[in-house]
Structure formats: structure tokens, C-alpha cells
Amino acid sequence: MGKITDALKKAAQERLSRLEKLDQKPGVKYEFIAKKTADSKIDPRIVSFYDPKSPVAEQYRILRTNIQALNTKTPLKAITITSSIHGEGKTITAINLAISMAHDLSKKNILLVDADLRRARISKYLGFDCELGLSDLIANGTNIDEALINIGIDNLTILPVGKIPHNPAELLGSMKMKNLITLLKSKYDYIILDTPPVIPVTDAGLVGAQTDGVIMVVQAERTQKGVVEHGEGLLKQAQAKLLGYILTNIQYHIPGYIYRYL
């Protein structure tokens, strides 16, 4: 082991010596500029972007696989993400899922839509500013190409909220919204729509009824069973199809040998 360490140290010293000699030559200049892959303001909780080999990112790939394997009468293309109440991690989940799906080797075209016309968190988490978005498409007939955002992740497109409207429920429940979803489904392989929690407002039920299904995010050790059941009942009342649940804030021990392998 000592011989290997000594050899590595010697190789490193020789390389440093060569760089120093080159730097002394006239006309040689090193700028040490790293290649930019995407906006550096992306929230560190987007593990599918920052650490795609981590155990947490692996869970999003498992979720991706489970969604693709769901046996439904019609293909799942537009999926609504919601939760029962605020603070359960639905937006972080929607973003990580969309990036994980964009990383799939099948190179599917993924559209992530911020359909939370009340709080609009996706642009904040992904670190970009926008003027136009979903609300403008529905309310003003804005050209869709002017609203779509590319943040440098292959196969992923973002449709932000745009201007926060005074009538979000009316916009999301309109025929224009329904027609827009139909149009987007013809252009993208998967559409992930982040919506507000289902209990405080009606928005998630309205969007869920127009998409192919709804996934509810539930925070472990916080959200009570009765609250989740109430949220499920509201979705059913809105005639939205519940596909399943995602449990967040899970803490578990990974044996050392498995963790090192990952």
C-alpha cells in the first residue's frame, strides 16, 4: 500500500512540475473555466440534477419505472402532482421526477408545468426568472413558444406560471386549459404538472380531472391518515384518478457495504 501511495505522490509532483514549466513559457495562459452545464442557482434539494448516483436519486428512478409500468387503459402522458396540505414536498418531488424522466436513456421529451398559480415555486427552485407562462397562455392567448424555458437539461422543457392571476381556479378549470393539455400531450412524451395542495383549494382537482392521473405526495411522520383520506376523497369528488402516493421525508439506514457500492 505504501509503494502505491508513494507512486501516486510522485506522479502528482511530476505533473505539477510540468504545469509550472509550461506556465513559465511566454504566451501560455490558463483560465481554468469549467464548462457550465445548467444554472448554478438550482436548489440543492434537486438531487436528480446534482447527485444522480445517490440513493435518493435512485428512488426517483424507481418512481419513474413504476409510473412507466403502470397498467392503465390509456397511456399515461399527463400526470398531476399534489399533496393534501402545504409543505409535504410536492414541488421538489415533481422537479426531481421530471429530471429523472429526462435522464432516461430512451430520451423522452419531458415537460414540467408549474400549475400552482398561487405560489409558483418551480422557477424559484430551478433558479430562473420568467415573465410569461401558463396563466398567460390561458388568459391572454400568448404564443406558447414565448413561454417555454430550457435550463440546459437535455430532454426537459419548463412551462412556468407566468403572471400570478386573481382567478386561478377559473383559469385551470377552463376549456382553454383543457385544450392546452391536449395540445401539449401531442408534443411531449410526458407532462408533469405541479399543483397546489388539494385540501385548501380546488385547483388540484380541476387539473387532475383533465390529466391522466394524480399522484399525492405525503410527508412521513407529519401528515395524518385522516388528512390523506380527506384529500383522496376530494380528488375522487372532482373525478380525478388517483394513481398512488409518494412518501417523503423517509429516514432509513443503508448498510455500509451497500452505500459504498452506490
Domain ranges of the chain: 47-248
Rounded to two decimals, the pTM is 0.81
pLDDT tens readout for residues 108-148: 999 999 999 999 999 999 999 888 999 999 999 888 998 99
According to the CATH classification, is domain 47-248 in 2.30.110.10?
no
**20-65 pLDDT, tens digit each:** 554 454 544 433 332 334 445 899 999 999 999 998 999 999 999 9
Residue 100 burial by CB count (10 A; 0-12/13-18/19+): exposed, middle or buried? Answer: buried
For the beta sheet containing 213-219, the strands, ordered from the edge strand earlier in sequence to the opposite edge, are 156-159, 110-114, 190-194, 78-83, 213-219, 242-248
* Residue where the block lists cell 429516514: 251
Q: Which residues contact 34 (CB under 8 A, 6 or more apart)?
A: none
Q: What are phi and psi of 245, to 5 degrees?
A: -125, 150
